Amino acid sequence: MPTPVSFDYAILRVVPRVERQEFINAGVVAFCLEKRYLAARIHLNEARLRALWPDADVELAREHLEAVRRICDGDLAAGPIAKLSQRERFHWIISPRSTIIQPSPVHTGVCDGTEGVLDRLAKQFLDV
């Protein structure tokens, strides 16, 4: 029987107008040091984003979210951050910032294995 392990996760939010502090959930990032796991699931609901701001640059938001996924994957084409260790990449992704893409506070969970973790979190937080 697998031994349960802890993991950390954060929700990625699109904040189209930072001054209004309105956001939609558009991604989730999960990190498990013990399993050497770092991954992101992205799901941008364009209709919900446009409801917050009709002039939102959906493609720009999608590009930034996709960059996070590529950084999690360690895709070297994603730039120098993708070359860091998984822990360093996770901490870079979850660092607070005042841009269109913002992370939630970090939460902790427990799982028997990392397979299915992103599916479960996406279903819970991303309306997929």
User: How many domains, in total, are found in the chain?
Assistant: 1
Per-residue confidence (pLDDT) for residue 114, from 0 to 100: 85
Q: Is residue 66 one of the residues assigned to a domain?
A: yes
pLDDT tens profile 82-92: 999 999 999 99
pLDDT at 1 over 70: no
Residue 57 belongs to domain spanning: 11-125
Taking every pair of C-alpha atoms in the chain, what is the biggest distance, in angstroms? 51
Q: What is the per-residue pLDDT for 64?
A: 94
Residue 20 lies in a domain: yes
| Joined tokens for residue 27 | 């991604």
Residues 70, 89: Cα–Cα separation, whole Å: 11
2 domain residue, yes or no: no
Predicted local distance difference test score (pLDDT) of residue 127: 78
Average pLDDT over residues 1-24: 90
Q: What is the pLDDT of residue 17?
A: 87
pLDDT at residue 20, rounded to an integer:
86
**Is residue 64 a part of any domain in this protein?**
yes
pLDDT of residue 43: 96
Residue 105 lies in a domain: yes
- Place 110 in a pLDDT band, splitting at 50, 70 and 90: very high
Let me know if residue 6 belongs to a domain: no
What is the band of 122 on the pLDDT scale with cuts at 50, 70, 90? Answer: very high
4 found inside a domain: no
The H or E element spanning position 109 is: strand 107-111
pLDDT value of position 59: 95
Distinct helix (H) and strand (E) counts, the chain? 4, 5
